[in-house]
Amino acid sequence: MFGKTIRSRFPVFKNKPGLVYLDTASSSLTPKSVIDKIVEYYEHYPVNVKRGIYSLSEKSTAEFEKSRKVMASFINAPDADEVIFTRGTTESVNLVAYAYGRKNVNEDDEIVVSVTEHHSNFVPWQALAHEAGAVFKVIDVDDEGRLEIFGKDGSVQLEDVVTKKTKIMALVYVSNVLGTVNPLKAIIKKAKSINPKIVAVVDAAQAAGHMKIDVQDLDCDFLALSGHKMYGPKGVGILWGKKKLLEEMFPFQYGGEMIQEVTIAKTTYAKPPHKFEAGTPSIGDVIGLQEAVNLLKEIGFEKIHRHEQSLIKNLRKKLKATFHDAVTIYGPEDGTSAVSFTLKGTHPHDIASVLNDDNICIRAGHHCTMPLHQRFGITATSRASVSIYNDEEDIDKLIKALLSAYKMLSKN
């Protein structure tokens, strides 16, 4: 099911023999089924949605709205009309910060994030806080990479973070650097027990391709994810929000299809989700999302989790066994899907460049988490992230190439 077996579904491996792709945390590869679905749209009904009463447009609209239902089911949303198509997590978070935040956050209110957030779930809230005169609170992590909000018994303790003035709490589900899985259900429950009016925003970009997401079980208020992190097309994602909140928000963009009526005197807006989908969307990419979900459902998240955890555990073990004190690994032992590390006397960019010569792709840099890297006193890390098309042979090739690169680059 995994590794070599499933690689046949991803055309890049046929076109790039010997490729070892360990950068899924940045962007997953695209399976043939998704590509074929996009091609189907462009070859058979490549017209706009919603606007035509002819059969091609009706087919396009039907497939587009089918994707909305598929994504609603994927995250267990109670209503497909709560699913808004965006360009991805970044646009989704910015939509909430603009259309909800600027209407509801005022001077002396509070916004809470964590130091582990991707810039796309950090900067919009920081900017909003500065603009509104609100207090911007950042939850720190311990040396293992877990949020510093847990008591000795493991219970969530947010009393020093969340108050009656906290309007928004925006947290990542899975860290793209540390692999830490935040227990968001417990965190959100605790936050709402302190302040029932708090709005919980979840960045699920790194979770979507690796674990089951259930917005009703989480009891979050907004959730964002990107198609390209879960084997779908690039440049498309969703924002899910509770209908009551969506109805109260003003539009993010203005233009075609998001209106109910336009007159010289005034404009009234369509109901969600269309209120937030101005203009012509990336129709083929939205339709392609269906096949990404089908692939994940076919394999099943339990099997995906077992496979990826086995690879991550083995990678951490071999890094320590090979490099001993020369390697520093960031994140908890039970982290998922990604391992970030540094090798003494080398720079991550040099490591990645040398590995590229062996057809091995890893990520090097701050991974759009500069505050997190500053927290650990470093400027960059090397990151290897695994997926369904990786196997133990990939891990062995990585370790062998890393050892060669270390011997070449080490200043010690």
pLDDT in tens, 379-394: 999 999 999 999 999 9
221 and 74 fall within a common domain: yes
291 lies in the same domain as 323: no
Say whether pLDDT at 51 is over 80: no
- Averaged pLDDT score across all residues of the chain: 97
Q: Check whether residue 22 and residue 55 sit in a common domain.
A: no
The answer on 403 and 260 residing in a single domain is: no
pLDDT of amino acid 402: 98
Under 8 Å between Cβ of 362 and 199 = no
Range of the domain at 99: 34-297
Please report the pLDDT score of residue 411 as a whole number: 66
Closest CA to 236 of 71, 33, 68, 86: 86
User: Nearest 5°: phi and psi at 129?
Assistant: -60, -45
Per-residue pLDDT of 81-121, as tens digits, reads 999 999 999 999 999 999 999 999 999 999 999 999 999 99
Are both 194 and 327 inside the same structural domain? no
pLDDT tens digit sequence for 21-30: 999 999 999 9
Same domain, 170 and 313: no
Last residue of some domain: 250, 276, 297? 297
The letter for the amino acid at 279 is G
Integer Cα distance of 411 and 344 in angstroms: 8
Q: Is 339 helix (H, G, I), strand (E, B) or coil?
A: strand
For residue 50, what pLDDT is reported? Answer: 86
pLDDT tens-digit series, residues 224-248 = 999 999 999 999 999 999 999 999 9
Question: In the listed set 253, 272, 297, which residue is the last one of a domain according to the structure?
Answer: 297
pLDDT digits (tens, 9 = 90+) for 121-168: 999 999 999 999 999 999 999 999 999 999 989 999 999 999 999 999
> Do 322 and 378 fall within a single domain?
yes
The Cα–Cα gap between 14 and 39 comes to: 19
Q: Are 82 and 242 in contact (CB under 8 A)?
A: yes
**Domain at 344, CATH number:** 3.90.1150.10
Q: What is the DSSP letter of 196?
A: T
CATH no. for residue 282? Answer: 3.40.640.10
Query: Rounded distance, CA 411 to CA 345, Å?
Result: 5
My answer on whether 288 and 340 are in the same domain is no
User: Would residue 368 show up in a list of annotated catalytic residues for this protein?
Assistant: yes
Is there a single domain that holds both residue 249 and residue 307?
no
Say if pTM beats, i.e. exceeds, 0.95: yes
Residues 276 and 199 in one domain: yes
Q: Which residue of the set 194, 368, 378, 409 is catalytic? A: 368
Rg of the chain, C-alpha, whole Å? 22
Boundary-marking domain end, from 265, 297, 329? 297
Residues 88 and 228 in one domain: yes
pLDDT band at 410 (very low <50, low <70, confident <90, very high): confident
- Give the separation between CA 258 and CA 95, rounded to whole angstroms: 14
Domain count, the chain: 2
